[in-house]
Chain A
Amino acid sequence: MNTATKAALDASGAAPLGARAPVLSLNNIDKVFGRDVVALKGMSLDIQAGDFISLLGPSGCGKSTALRLIADLIHPTSGSIRWQVEKTPGALSVVFQEPSLMPWATVADNVWLPFRLQGKTRTSVKDDIAEALELVGLENFHNAYPRELSGGMKMRVSIARALVTHPRIILMDEPFAALDEITRFKLNNDLLELKSKIGCTVVFVTHSVFESVFLSDRIVVMAARPGRVIRELHVNEPYPRSEEFRTSSEYVAHCRAASDALRDAMEEHA
């Protein structure tokens, strides 16, 4: 049984590798705030379909800035961001550190938001809403208000809202940083499961070495002042990753490598 599972893991891990296609690339991006706050310097990154990329680095190294650039909320000082696929409305979605739900709207109406902004009525997308809520395990909470939910559940709604348009790429800025560890582990597992089901690309910002190793296949380690990429690590472990992966020796080895890289990043500007 063990070997069978292992084989299955390998197979599913290999599938996305074959289907790799570029989604988006950042070419030598600089971003300067004001006159002299260099938030990013010479950042390049190729994002492939199906990637789970973590941006890992100390506070102030420009992780959020990179996400905001990709989301087109701010524009690079120099360098370019190129979409390799067609950028339709809803092709990109964002999850923030806070759930950022509309407190006056029910869970279902919150998830409806991306479609609503495209001018779609609720009835026309009610199946998509139901599907997204089912994916995050909140199928019984359509009519609840955000205040009635726990922190973890609110975050799930936020994720459902991001998933509902079937985006090509999801940007997540420390989405679980404010949650307790048990909830965070659970959501980590669920996030991987979700990703394998819908096969999207994720760019995930985190402060946590453990989270980045558990979730991603690529870890981009960044340093601050000026914000830049100093190393890219590959976590060539197959998906789906189960809870056992957290205690495996491979996991520990990857964590050590990521910690070392992070220490280098911290020391470089110290």
Chain B
Amino acid sequence: MAVLPPGVSQRDFSAAIAQFQSAVGKDWVFTSDPDVALYRDAYSPAWGQAEERLASAAVAPDSTEQVQQIVRTANIYKIPLFPISTGKNLGYGGSAPNLSGSVVVDLKRMNRILEVDDVRHYALVEPGVAYFDLYRHIQEKKLNVWIDTPDPGWGSVMGNALDHGVGYTTSQFRNHFDAHCGMEVVLANGEVMRTGLGAVPGSKTWQDYKYGFGPTVDGLFAQGNYGIVTKMGIWLMPAPEAYTSGTVSVAKHDDLIRLVEMVNYLENLGISNGMPGFGFALGAGGGRGGPGVQPDAQLAALLGREGGPDIAELERYAAANNRAFWTCRLQFYGPKTVVAAQWEYAKSRLAAIPGSRATDGPSYDFPLTPEQLARVQQVAFGVPNMSIFSIGARTERNPTPSSGHVWFSPIIPRTGEGILESQKVLWQAGRDAGIPFNRFAMPATYYSRAFIYIIGIPITRNVETDRKNRDGFRQLIKVAAEHGWVEYRTAPLYQDNVMDTYSFNNHALRRFCETMKEAVDPNGIMAPGRSGIWSKRHPRARA
């Protein structure tokens, strides 16, 4: 046995394991070293190092009642638990706990799709339901709804939403926690609670009306450590009739300011309901705005200039070569005539930016044919897949694949000024921290009211490089926060650092959360340390 929960004797641990076994069956309690090793974070930034967070065991219940029994046992023996739904949180912690020695409560076996309603457009699912499962269920039953899926299709509807995960279709559905409606939760004392209208016996609207009456507590269970969610409702999108898209490009560096302003207008008014993609048009990949062009020797020299590219020189290059500086791809979902009109209106409005150009993009009638589906970015059409795992993987051009990546993902304001300033500051911070990245990295637009950078820092499993990258990551968190940009989500290794940046009024937010924690979880058994929230039994280890 590699690691025990802190402060728990071997005798108590063994007694707890025996009770877990009688709750879920011997086959579903994992204690051997090779079995427990499968709960390591495969993308750990500290693989094999003292900082790596390791489980002591894992237990896999099949029902809410079994989860309750596990929680009651944990209270008797003061065993810290760490719930996962499908445990695929790669880049943000995988299936490993915050506190070493925690017992992972692996909810993968609870994988029932309890309801899909294609009239009121929602689903009710258990934790282990993967996006692939929900998609297949809808296909098989020929239901008239789409799901909104993140890039990796193997993650769970619930775990993704609970870590504030995101997807790619329309603005109402991309923010997965926002699209959830109603939860069932096993609290830290083992009691079952239902939120919203689920608290009303015989309610007919648990998955339709979020708030119920009085305080809305659902947020406590997302990135929180107050309970184990065992059921969750999620709103689905009625299958649309058609899709169209187009790209607008602008010529000058500062044109980005008006471009973002106008796209915000179109998006917030519901005219462009798909995910916009801003791109740096002189980059090889084009950012998120569409395919770019491999730079010629002159452009490569300008981009690689010592001390960073000179904006005026890049503008001159763009003008001389009839190239744009920035692009934005817009997407529209709905009735065919309506999406066509929406794109026409967007074009007319964006034409107000001098030198801007609009190009029509692909349009589709649904359902897509298999040939169309093979060509498109499938997640934009609610089709789960795994193609994103080409990032860092071996290809002919990348003969030395990484061992994964952690995401540096600060939230920045949804303005052109916000992008321009953060690109400059974060690029310099990355260089100072020894983890250089693209000078013109573009933020993602999953969330419809703020931009978020998603910058992958590779995991090498080289002790020295990964140590340097951990220091660098922490430095990036600090520099970003000094400018008002903070992480929306992060791996356990960095959660204390991120919570430290939410420091208004002497960390009032964290102190409030920890006060609640003591009240509802006096034994500190529920995911100690999740999001930097600790307890008297498990205080934060300060370096």
Are these two chains actual partners, yes or no? Answer: no
Q: Which residues of chain A have a CB within 8 Å of any CB of chain B? A: none
Q: Which residues of chain B have a CB within 8 Å of any CB of chain A? A: none
